[in-house]
Amino acid sequence: MADILLVEDQENPRKAISRLLKNKGYIVEEAQDGQKALDILRSRFFDLVITDVKMEPIDGMQVLKETRKIWLDTEVIVITAYGTIESAVEATKLGAFNYIQKPFNNEEFLSVVYNALENKTTREKTEHFLQENIIINSKQMKRIFDQVSQVARTDSTILITGESGTGKELIAKAIHANSLRSNKSLITVNCSSLPENLLESELFGHVRGAFTGAIKDKKGLFQEANKGTIFLDEIGEIPLQTQVKLLRVLQEGEIRRVGDNISIHVDVRIIAATNRNLEEEIEKRNFREDLYYRLNVIPIHIPALRLRRDEIIPLVDHFLEKYSKKLNKDIPSISPQAMSLLKNYHWPGNVRELENIIERVVTLTNKNILGTKDFLFNLPNSHKNMMRRRKKDQDLTLAEAERIHILECLDRCSGNQKLSAQMLGISTTTLWRKLKGYKINLEEMKQ
């Protein structure tokens, strides 16, 4: 049962609230002023702090501030008889779960307490799920984690954006796993993998005889996901005709099977994802503006891996451990030069590409220490390198082969001359002379 610290300078209200909470099974400790509350908080953890605002010499707002500093996972409810909109906004900005004005209804008060503690539980479950499945080592991903914690137990529609391979589906799974629908199905639909003529039937179902081959009635995925969650991956690929029907689901909570004239009610939470810029698609008339706004209630954007390089080393360590255990191998270490190569590579395929590379290298190696060569020839060539090697079947002079090799190293190291020189086994001065001799323009390579 939850531990609650109750901070109230008036004895009678404090005793009444304490008795109310204890009758519901909560463990309650009382503090008669703000200073006493902070002394108690510095000595032990509480799941919830309930504090009055108007107290001397330390008021409830200061208790709220200090609580958030001492125990980040402790929820805070602020109560006051002198409530104003300004103080409510301030309390919310400082991290209060709720702001209640006296006098209050006991049942409503207990409901707020219950919801605050449920919010804490959800956040802890979300944190555990993300730690098990997603590396959180950058400010961007920590902000996303906070968003997931906040929205998981709501029914709001969510639009997750980001490049392919950034982990959009993992975020969708985290939201569902910590939602009130977690005991029901999460149905994942890759909208780009279904032919246009079959997409509506898959999503909404069909009746017998609706089209050639429809020999019996079929439930759609929205019906299969009833009471649960449906994850529409690559939502930007849905044709305009299907977008109209999807809009109806969002507006009315109803679907209509292909070939049917009867609407069916469904209770489904929708999480959508796309690697496209839907605002640009709206301008091109490829995506409906009204559908976009219905989907984009809670936007979550996952940045590309190259924009959160702090994640690369922990991700590498995570995947090394994962695939070493899977393949029953000792976990190899990576040389500093190889790690520098991985940190400076631009990772167009994001986390998915990194995971695939680590799996491939661990599968193929028998070494204890992985070097740059283990990764250099496993990192896929960019289209520029493919063009440079278009004459690979023809005879090359030594100078031409050297020039191609230097270009490849520079491309893999995103133009980092020091790292490229290390890979080539030459000094940066020698590399500079060769760049000048081969008339290699680094600025042109970046374009």
- pLDDT at position 334 is 92
When mean pLDDT is compared over 216-220, 273-277, 420-424, the highest value belongs to 273-277
Residues ≥6 apart with Cβ < 8 Å to 251: 294
Give the model confidence (pLDDT) of 198-213 as tens digits.
888 999 999 988 888 8
For the chain, give the percent of residues with pLDDT over 90: 47
Q: What is the dihedral of CA 112, 113, 116, 118, to 10 degrees?
A: -110
What mean pLDDT comes out for the span 364-388? Answer: 67
Does the pLDDT of residue 76 top 60, yes or no? yes
Domain 306-376 in this protein, CATH class:
mainly alpha
State whether CATH 1.10.10.60 applies to domain 383-445.
Answer: yes
Please tell me the distance from the alpha carbon of residue 52 to that of residue 18, in angstroms, as a whole number.
13
Query: Chain-wide mean pLDDT for the chain?
Result: 86
- pLDDT at position 299 is 95
- pLDDT at position 382 is 37
Kindly report, as residue ranges, where domains of CATH 3.40.50.2300 are found in the chain.
3-121
Kindly report, as residue ranges, where domains of CATH 3.40.50.300 are found in the chain.
139-301
- pLDDT at position 385 is 41
Which CATH architecture describes the domain 139-301? 3-Layer(aba) Sandwich (3.40)
Contact in structure between 10 and 103 (CB atoms under 8 Å): no
Contact in structure between 279 and 286 (CB atoms under 8 Å): no
DSSP label of 30:
E
Give the model confidence (pLDDT) of 93-128 as tens digits.
788 888 898 888 999 999 999 988 887 777 676 666
- pLDDT at position 135 is 66
For the chain, give the percent of residues with pLDDT over 70: 89
- pLDDT at position 150 is 82
Give the model confidence (pLDDT) of 132-152 as tens digits.
656 666 778 888 888 888 888
Give the model confidence (pLDDT) of 393-414 as tens digits.
345 577 777 877 788 778 777 6
> What would the CATH number be for the domain defined by 3-121?
3.40.50.2300
What mean pLDDT comes out for the span 181-189? Answer: 89
Pair of tokens at residue 336: 């500093």
- Among 203, 202, 356, smallest CA distance to 270 is for 203
Kindly report, as residue ranges, where domains of CATH 1.10.10.60 are found in the chain.
383-445
Please tell me the distance from the alpha carbon of residue 156 to that of residue 59, in angstroms, as a whole number.
35
- pLDDT at position 128 is 61
Classify residue 270 by burial, with Cβ atoms within 10 Å: 0-12, 13-18, 19+.
buried
- pLDDT at position 106 is 92
Does the pLDDT of residue 301 top 90, yes or no? yes
Kindly report, as residue ranges, where domains of CATH 1.10.8.60 are found in the chain.
306-376
- pLDDT at position 123 is 67
Q: Output the pTM of the full model.
A: 0.62
- pLDDT at position 392 is 46
* 429 or 439, higher pLDDT: 429
